Amino acid sequence: MKWIFKSVLAMLVLLPSLILAGEQQVDATGYGQHHNQAIANALTQALRQVTGVGIDSREVVQSLSGRVSTSNNDGEHNDTTFAVSRSGNLSLKTRGVVSRYDVNDVSEQDDGSYRADVTVYVARYEKPGFKASSRRTLAVLPFHTDKPSFSLLGDKTLASKVEAKLRNHIMNQFTQSRRVNVLDREFGNEFKAERNLWLSDDAGLAERTRVGNVLGADYLVVGNIRSINSRKHSKTLTLTGETITHYSGQASIDYKIILAATRQVKWSDSINIKFSDKQVRDLLKKYGSSEVGITTTLARELAQKALSNIYPMRVVAVKGKTIVINQGGKTLKKGEMLDVYLLGEEMFDSYSGESLGQLEEQIATIKVVRINAKTTYAKVVNGDAELIEKDFIVRR
């Protein structure tokens, strides 16, 4: 039975000499047919206490059938058919990294088996930055479109290229908001290569604790690109020979935010934008191309609408007529006008009993004057600043 103990030790990746900052101490008891098997079982039990256990239950039915023939004193015969079924197959799986362990006691039991009491130090990976559990997670999936390409200022641009830019801008907008954890669903091969490095013989034990920390998405952003185009109109005046150039543009997308666990649609909307000559010129000046400008505008509009329903902006500080909002980055623009709302009583749907949010009363209008990475400063331009308090809702 030595091979059992060796295989368990290999699975646990034991290295008694290594002490990690992310250790968690746990006491455990294990049983086995011999000394080493009892210790291995105790180590497994310790891991299950810390990292949990995956249960894989499959229904397996095995039947045993037969026939019994009996007779009584009068010579009468009776044949009986019987069947016995056994069902159930339970598999328990666990994984983790034990950095070291102490064997406190190993004793033989009355039935000849052994009991081991051990103190185990389980290595835990300490994730950098803010705790992921404090924010909801979101993944932006590829958008669909039934068009092979889009016309942008006379050029045919592949729909796949436009979609990739739109999705990247949407991810940037959600990330900049700092309201949700944005998960990558694009660079799967690169992640697998990095994961294989963690598990290779060249990596230290601490690197193996990174495995098993991938987050699942709470929300999925999916959508359809109906149209994106920009045009350049040129007209030459007959009298003067002067050429006048005029720009226009248009974009339409549908999108949904789905609760991943249940596939329930939490929010659904369409965005339709028409770009005037001046707006297209501004996009060209700022972004260098109408493709980047239009997809950035769409992404900003989508993220703002989605976040206003999941995580509306709130006031975090008030000093005189200066209001500080808990959102910054690229999600707001200097000079933008926002409304501040006083929250009242909570409202409920008469049919479902579902909360409809709180009653909102607009009390002020503020103007963005400075934007930081995490916060935005604004000035009250209309309304009573003295009525504004922390946690008040801010909307566009």
Please write the tens of the pLDDT for every residue from 129-175.
555 556 788 889 999 999 999 999 988 999 999 999 999 999 988 88
Radius of gyration of the chain (CA): 32
pLDDT at 157: 92
Q: Is 143 helix (H, G, I), strand (E, B) or coil?
A: coil
What is the C-alpha to C-alpha distance for residues 299 and 207, in angstroms, rounded to an integer? 36
- What angle, rounded to 10 degrees, do the helices at 35-51 and 2-12 form? 30
State percent of the chain over pLDDT 70. 73
What pLDDT does 302 receive?
92
| CA 112 to centroid of chain Cα atoms | 50
Tokens of 232: 């350049």
- How confident is the model at residue 154, as a pLDDT? 87
Residue with tokens 């006083």: 342
State whether 33 and 170 are in the same domain: no
Q: Is the Cβ–Cβ distance between 145 and 224 less than 8 Å? A: yes
Higher pLDDT, 307 or 295: 295
Pick from 31-45, 116-130, 140-154, 190-204: least confident: 190-204
Q: Using the predicted structure, report yes or no on whether residue 94 has a pLDDT greater than 70.
A: no
CATH number, domain with residue 270 = 3.40.50
Residues 62, 188, single domain; the answer is no
Q: What is the pLDDT of residues 62-77, one digit of tens each?
A: 565 565 555 666 666 6
List Cα–Cα distances, 67 to 63, 78, 152, 200, 217, in angstroms: 14, 10, 81, 58, 56
Domain identity same for 243 and 334: no
Mean pLDDT of all residues in 317-329: 89
DSSP 141: P
Q: Are residues 195 and 277 in the same domain?
A: yes
Give the separation between CA 150 and CA 164, rounded to whole angstroms. 13
Q: Give me the amino acid identity at 293.
A: G
Q: Using the Cα atoms of residue 29, residue 31, residue 35 and residue 40 in order, give the sign of their dihedral.
A: negative
pTM over 0.85: no
Q: What 3 state SS string does 352-377 have?
A: CCCEEEEEEEEEEEEEEEEECCCCEE
pLDDT of residue 324: 93
| pLDDT(96) > 80 | no
CB 208 within 8 A of CB 13: yes
User: Model confidence at 250, in pLDDT bands (50, 70, 90)?
Assistant: very high
> Quick check: 59 pLDDT over 60?
no
Q: Give yes or no: residues 190 and 292 share one domain.
A: yes
Q: What pLDDT, on the 0 to 100 scale, is given for residue 75?
A: 62
> Which of 196 and 298 is assigned the larger pLDDT?
298
**How far, CA to CA in Å, does 184 sit from each of 23, 51, 54, 156, 251?**
28, 24, 25, 29, 26
Q: For residue 49, is pLDDT > 80? A: no
Whole-angstrom Cα distance, residue 41 to residue 48? Answer: 11
User: Do residues 82 and 186 share a domain?
Assistant: no
Same domain, 26 and 173: no
Average pLDDT over residues 291-309: 89
Q: Is the pLDDT of residue 17 over 50?
A: no
Q: Please give the pLDDT value at position 128.
A: 57
- What confidence score (pLDDT) does residue 53 get? 60
Q: Which helix (H) or strand (E) holds 213?
A: none
Asked whether residue 183 falls in the same domain as residue 276, the answer is yes
Q: How confident is the model at residue 354 (pLDDT cuts 50, 70, 90)?
A: confident
Please give the C-alpha separations between residue 141 and each of 167, 203, 223, 272, 317, in angstroms, as whole numbers.
Answer: 8, 32, 8, 20, 36
Percentage, residues of the chain above pLDDT 90:
29
Rounded to an integer, what distance in angstroms lies between the CA atom of residue 83 and that of residue 68? 11
- Positive or negative, the CA dihedral 187, 189, 190, 195 is positive
Q: Parallel, antiparallel, or unpaired: how do β-strands 376-383 and 337-348 relate? A: unpaired
Strand 219-236 vs strand 136-140: parallel, antiparallel, or unpaired? parallel
> Distance between CA 49 and CA 26 in Å, rounded?
8
- Average of per-residue pLDDT across 310-327: 88
Q: Is the pLDDT of residue 181 over 80?
A: yes
- Among 123, 158, 190, the domain-final residue is 123
For residue 339, the domain's CATH number is: 2.40.10.410
Predicted pLDDT at 223: 93
Q: Residue 19 above 70 pLDDT?
A: no
Task: Give bridge partners of residue 319 from the DSSP assignment.
Answer: 322
Number of compact structural domains in the chain: 3
User: Do 102 and 135 belong together in one domain?
Assistant: no
Q: What is the pLDDT of residue 95?
A: 64
Last residue of a domain, one of 296, 311, 326: 311
Beta-carbon neighbour count of residue 308 at 10 Å? 15
Residues 271, 170 share a domain: yes
Considering the domain architecture, whether residues 227 and 291 belong to the same structural domain is answered as yes
Is the same domain home to 284 and 229? yes
CA distances 360 to 81, 325, 363, 395, Å, are 75, 17, 9, 11
- Residue that finishes a domain, picked among 280, 311, 342: 311
**Structure confidence at residue 295 (pLDDT):** 95
Q: Do 168 and 140 touch, CB atoms closer than 8 A?
A: no
Structural domain range at position 15: 2-69+77-123
